[in-house]
Amino acid sequence: MAGAAGPGTGPGAAGGDGDDSLYPIAVLIDELRNEDVQLRLNSIKKLSTIALALGVERTRTELLPFLTDTIYDEDEVLLALAEQLGNFTGLVGGPDFAHCLLPPLESLATVEETVVRDKAVESLRQISQEHTPIALEAHFVPLVKRLASGDWFTSRTSACGLFSVCYPRASNAIKAEIRQHFRSLCSDDTPMVRRAAASKLGEFAKVLELDSVKSEIVPLFTNLASDEQDSVRLLAVEACVSIAQLLSQDDLEVLVMPTLRQAAEDKSWRVRYMVADKFSELQKAVGPKITLNDLIPAFQNLLKDCEAEVRAAAAHKVKELCENLPIEGRETIIMNQILPYIKELVSDTNQHVKSALASVIMGLSTILGKENTIEYLLPLFLAQLKDECPEVRLNIISNLDCVNEVIGIRQLSQSLLPAIVELAEDAKWRVRLAIIEYMPLLAGQLGVEFFDEKLNSLCMAWLVDHVYAIREAATNNLMKLVQKFGIEWAQNAIVPKVLVMANDPNYLHRMTTLFCINALSEACGQEITTKQMLPIVLKMAGDQVANVRFNVAKSLQKIGPILDIDALQEEVKPVLQKLGQDEDMDVKYFAQEAISVVAQRLRKLDFPVKDSEEPSAPGADKNHFLRPRGPGEDTRKFLPLMSRHKETERLGWLPRRQ
């Protein structure tokens, strides 16, 4: 692109008289010819600015020809150009001049890179709507014909996406030509072209007259569905959905169903996968009668397919299939024709199949009702809860509310709760973490009494888990539970148990107490925080471990806004001042930060604060992290903040300091 003649020759080209205000535009124009790809890309992205500066006449006569003549750039530049031109109609003079944009886009629609061609086709489709019917036949339809009969497959694949936008507004004679070109592309020698035609077959069928659909589209569909390339056949399945929506039941049975039955038993698993993936859409398109006679047997075969990918795709559609069945006789059909195959999938050898089934099987309970759920589905749920694959177990837990609505909490707890408790104590920490995330949902379903009886102790046990991520999630879980069950429940059932951990010999558990207080203080309010939590935090300020002490300072800073003036002035401030003189650099730094926040709080409440009580430069001590280490000094003492907390604890870089 460098060195090519462009629209204008220098800064004066944009302004005519050398106006300095247009100099940036001249720079953009020059960058269109620059050797640097990034500069050209930036200029292309600002093409609308250049066009505005040039005016509609010069944009049509200079800028667009220049762009058309230089379509050999890097793919990312061409992609940006194709995107820009789709919104250029107003910059070339409006719909009357929209045809001026067709030459550069036609060139872009023939390049080798697929994403550029696709973007060019998208812009062409957008511009086609701005053509009048006369201009469409005069300029746009000839472009489509040229692309459709191009020597390179790239142009022919691009043409496939343009037939449906120009067909509805064309005259009858032109429509016949368009259909003829599309038929030719459907039987093209190049598989890539047939693929493109198959992918647009359904879209094209929607704009055709019904007679043309029956006489021309259906034969094309039949041929593409029996193509030698499976990549073409699977796209024909997708087109089947659109075609089926256009035909009557009788026409469907005669024209479409033989081909669809063949696709459901295709030798290629990819085609069978596509049938399974589009099954719900096919079911709605063909109607209940054909579904019962043809699709249910096909679905049974897909559920027991030899390929795991096909079984997984079919398993994903179980719930939708059952929901779309006619209400009359639905329960019988599911129990007799679907459930036996579901039972086999529960113990499938492939974990993806079991996971796909677990994500939808709970939804069957609302369809089958309480008795059938208890007798037939609960054993399947229980088996999946005990599955060795974590994803299967989690998919069941995440949908427990569906079953709870049908069978009630007591039955649910008796049958499934033991398995949930077992998961909560799983050796894999990610499984435990997922259970914690679902605990607030589960608590809301169970109710406070049942939760206290069965799950409260479990939530407290997570607070002393050996994995930091579990302890952190358990802390957040407590806050959500307090929000759900209320302050009174927290005061009786949670706060006393949390505060006891302040005396734990393990410093990590003592720190967890502080994290819990941080999370619970806002939910519990001023009274509980001041009377029950604050004394424990102040007591922990004398802890032997520096990590605990600097977290005390952070906790006092966190709960400070909740406390009243007396507590801040008489209890919090003296402790923070003492911590501010601590021998540990981190403790001293966080104490000074907290003192600053508390002082600001007191000032807002019009409480007198001495200058000496507020550090003159709260951030001054941050420089201690940058101080060079002296001979023999312990480098751990000067590690950045995060290495003294989460990351070191998780990775085990630092030993416990006593």
Residues 138-179 pLDDT 10s: 888 898 888 888 888 888 999 988 888 888 888 888 888 888
The tokens describing 576, both together, are 């923070």
Q: What is the C-alpha separation between 12 and 21, in angstroms, rounded?
A: 11
Find the Cα–Cα–Cα–Cα dihedral 123, 127, 129, 134, rounded to 10°: -140
The tokens describing 449, both together, are 């009494």
In DSSP notation, 488-523 reads HHIIIIIHHHHHHGGG-SSHHHHHHHHHHHHHHHHH
Per-residue model confidence (pLDDT) at position 606? 57
The DSSP letter of residue 570 is: I
Per-residue model confidence (pLDDT) at position 610? 52
Of the two residues 242 and 614, the one the predictor is more confident about is 242
Please report which confidence band the pLDDT of residue 17 belongs to, taking 50, 70 and 90 as the band edges.
very low
Q: Are 235 and 225 in contact (CB under 8 A)?
A: no
28 pLDDT exceeds 60? yes
Across the range 415-432, mean pLDDT stands at 79
Angle at 411 between CA 407 and CA 414, to 5 degrees: 150
Q: Name the residue among 138, 147, 105 with its Cα closest to residue 122.
A: 105
Please report which confidence band the pLDDT of residue 605 belongs to, taking 50, 70 and 90 as the band edges.
low
Please report which confidence band the pLDDT of residue 72 belongs to, taking 50, 70 and 90 as the band edges.
low
3-state DSSP call for residue 150? coil
Of the two residues 318 and 15, the one the predictor is more confident about is 318
Supply the Cα-derived Rg of the chain in whole angstroms.
Answer: 35
Q: Are 137 and 174 in contact (CB under 8 A)?
A: yes
Across the range 545-556, mean pLDDT stands at 91
Across the range 100-123, mean pLDDT stands at 87
Q: What is the C-alpha separation between 319 and 283, in angstroms, rounded?
A: 13
Please report which confidence band the pLDDT of residue 338 belongs to, taking 50, 70 and 90 as the band edges.
very high
Please report which confidence band the pLDDT of residue 307 belongs to, taking 50, 70 and 90 as the band edges.
very high
Q: Are 166 and 136 in contact (CB under 8 A)?
A: yes
628 pLDDT exceeds 50? no
Q: Name the residue among 334, 299, 294, 329 with its Cα closest to residue 315.
A: 299
Q: Give helix then strand counts, H and E, for the chain.
A: 49, 0
Of the two residues 203 and 441, the one the predictor is more confident about is 203
The contacts of residue 406 (CB under 8 Å, 6+ apart) are 365, 366, 369, 370, 373
Across the range 21-36, mean pLDDT stands at 62
The tokens describing 455, both together, are 């799950």
Per-residue model confidence (pLDDT) at position 342? 93
353 pLDDT exceeds 90? yes
Residue type, 126: Q
Buried b (16+ CB within 10 A) or exposed e, 595-616: bbbbbebbeeeeeeeeeebbbe
Per-residue model confidence (pLDDT) at position 609? 53
Per-residue model confidence (pLDDT) at position 644? 40
Residues 448-490 pLDDT 10s: 887 887 788 888 888 888 888 999 999 998 888 888 888 888 8
Q: How many CB atoms lie within 10 A of CB 94?
A: 11
Per-residue model confidence (pLDDT) at position 632? 44
Q: What percent of the chain has pLDDT over 70?
A: 86
Per-residue model confidence (pLDDT) at position 198? 92
21 pLDDT exceeds 60? no
The contacts of residue 4 (CB under 8 Å, 6+ apart) are 33, 66, 69, 70
How far from the centroid of its chain's Cα atoms is residue 619's Cα?
A: 40
Across the range 534-563, mean pLDDT stands at 89
The DSSP letter of residue 317 is: T
Terminal Cα distance for the chain, rounded? 69
The overall average pLDDT reported for the chain is 81
Of the two residues 649 and 527, the one the predictor is more confident about is 527
Per-residue model confidence (pLDDT) at position 301? 94
Per-residue model confidence (pLDDT) at position 18? 44
Find the Cα–Cα–Cα–Cα dihedral 223, 224, 226, 231, rounded to 10°: 170
Q: What is the C-alpha separation between 538 and 575, in angstroms, rounded?
A: 7
Q: What share of the chain is helix, strand, coil (3-state, %, to 5)?
A: 75, 0, 25
Per-residue model confidence (pLDDT) at position 530? 86
Please report which confidence band the pLDDT of residue 397 belongs to, taking 50, 70 and 90 as the band edges.
confident
Determine which of 130-134, 354-358, 405-409, 435-439 has the lowest per-residue pLDDT on average.
Answer: 405-409
Residues 358-382 pLDDT 10s: 989 988 888 888 888 888 888 898 8
Q: What is the C-alpha separation between 141 and 143, in angstroms, rounded?
A: 5
How far from the centroid of its chain's Cα atoms is residue 560's Cα?
A: 38
